Amino acid sequence: MSLIVQKYGGTSVGTPERIRNVAKRILETQQAGNQVVAVVSAMAGVTNNLIGLADAVTGEGQATEREMDVLLATGEQTTIALTAMALNAMGSKAVSLTGAQAGIETDGFHTKARISNISPAGVHELLDDGNIVILAGFQGKTPDGKITTLGRGGSDLTAIAMAAAIDADLCQILTDVDGVYTCDPRVVPEAKKLDEISYDELLEMASSGTKVMQSRSVEFAKKFGVPFEVRSSLNNNPGTLVKEETMSMESVVIRGVSLERDQAKVTITGVEDHPGTAGKIFGAVAETNLLVDMIVQNVSKTGITDISFTVHKDDVVKAEAALKPILPELGENATMEATDGIAKLSVVGIGMRSHSGVAAEMFAALSKAGVNIEMISTSEIKITVTVSEDQIDAAAKAAHEAFGLSEA
Ligand code: ASP
Ligand code: MG
């Protein structure tokens, strides 16, 4: 007998009919001779609606965080009851548990709490009594009993953390796609589903636009060595196995291509080249909690240089507001300029560590496709460029093709 943790996202439980289908799948998994813990998200749209209600009562973003968590936790609480009821109606023994009831303890950072401890004895007892356990994703409680939530998409984290805590044999993230693809199939129809991918590759793809799972949960899985499978809740096709890298995985140079639209570039020109200027710029931006991505600075021949960085286009106004007051401190003639309409293209693969010439190959492919590269940045396993947003699809296709990703 195996112990399996399954996680069903909001779309998979989005309607009563879908909840019944999920219940059927969970039951089949148990009937195949397994113990099952099923983590469920709020029904699609519910969390957003709850946030809208809070905003309507208090003004946008004004709700007290403690009460926000009490409110948001109700989304998952609805789904666990409905799923357990559906299973009971099918004649199966199932019980629902909130995060707190399942022994999930967190720190006190409301709306983005971190799991600090799980005491799964109660879960084991219920399983050993023949129950299916339906567990609310995305939530826990503090040691003094306050309800907390784990950040958007946090049901993934619940599943991974519970799988680690109960030492599950298998953790499956069931979603509305068949797995992790070499690229977004809406952009590159030849994109292929990957059989396997390493934690690091998935993290890099997630941070550069491939939205499959909450990144924190992948980090957690990496830290505690929890392999998991991303697969569809709508069919029985094998999914993508996410795991620690193995030697054989290094023979593939590029695992996938990610793209991210709606980016903007902020450039500060006339920056004096002496210690402390970059610190000032990014200190000011960090104070506004903005996510800054690619940072490019040129060497200065004259003691004056330019610094550029990218942000989401919706954050440009905030970035400009943060930088305007410190411009005079950066240089006598420092100016600032922002342009949107750019997108990021990344190629990701752990094989890059042991293969040379990957950047050259990527740039050659883009040049052949007539795509102009604006900014470039690299990590050990990723190369990212920015291009004009209207060329991003062509750029993705060219990179995908150049690295032979559509070949089986
Ligand atoms: N319901 C939460 C959200 O929408 C958690 C989750 O879906 O994983 O962010
Ligand atoms: Mg969700």
Q: What is the mean pLDDT of residues 290-300?
A: 88
pLDDT digits (tens, 9 = 90+) for 37-52: 999 999 999 999 999 9
Q: What are the structural domains of the chain?
A: 2-176 (3.40.1160.10), 257-407 (3.30.2130.10)
Q: State the distance from the centre of ligand 1 to the C-alpha of 5, rounded, in angstroms.
A: 17
Ligand nearest to the CA of 41: 1
Q: Which residues contact 268 (CB under 8 A, 6 or more apart)?
A: 281, 306, 307, 308, 323, 327, 330, 334, 335, 336
Quick one: pLDDT at residue 408?
60
Q: State the distance from the centre of ligand 1 to the C-alpha of 137, rounded, in angstroms.
A: 8
Most ligand 1 atoms within 8 A of CB, residue of 8, 152, 156, 233 to mutate: 152
Q: State the distance from the centre of ligand 2 to the C-alpha of 155, rounded, in angstroms.
A: 7
d(CA 116, CA 209) in angstroms, rounded, equals 28
Indicate the average pLDDT of the chain.
95
Among the atoms of ligand 1, which is closest to the Cα of residue 138? 5
Q: State the distance from the centre of ligand 1 to the C-alpha of 92, rounded, in angstroms.
A: 27
Q: What is the mean pLDDT of residues 382-386?
A: 97
Q: What is the mean pLDDT of residues 80-100?
A: 98
pLDDT digits (tens, 9 = 90+) for 237-294: 999 999 999 888 888 899 999 999 999 999 999 999 989 999 999 999 999 888 898 9
Say whether pLDDT at 55 is over 90: yes
Most ligand 1 atoms within 8 A of CB, residue of 41, 76, 173, 213 to mutate: 41
Q: What is the mean pLDDT of residues 315-332?
A: 94
Phi-psi region of 185 (alpha: psi -120 to 50; beta: other; left: phi over 0): alpha
Task: Collapse the DSSP code of 206 into the 3-class scheme (helix H, G, I; strand E, B; otherwise coil) and give the result.
Answer: helix
Ligand nearest to the CA of 153: 1
Token pair listed for 191: 């994109």
Amino acid at 329: E
Residue 298: band (very low, low, confident or very high) from pLDDT cuts 50, 70, 90? confident
Best CA proximity match to 244, nearest among 227, 220, 229, 256? 227
Q: Is 154 in the pocket of ligand 1 (CB under 6 A)?
A: yes
Q: Is 14 in the pocket of ligand 1 (CB under 6 A)?
A: no
Q: Which residues contact 369 (CB under 8 A, 6 or more apart)?
A: 394, 395, 397, 398
Strand-by-strand arrangement of the 196-198 sheet: 94-97, 132-136, 34-40, 2-8, 170-175, 228-232, 240-243, 196-198
Quick one: pLDDT at residue 247?
86
Q: Is 331 in the pocket of ligand 1 (CB under 6 A)?
A: no
Residue 211 CB coordination number (10 Å): 12
Ligand nearest to the CA of 47: 1
pLDDT digits (tens, 9 = 90+) for 120-175: 999 999 999 999 999 999 999 999 999 999 999 999 999 999 999 999 999 999 99
pLDDT digits (tens, 9 = 90+) for 5-37: 999 999 999 999 999 999 999 999 999 999 999
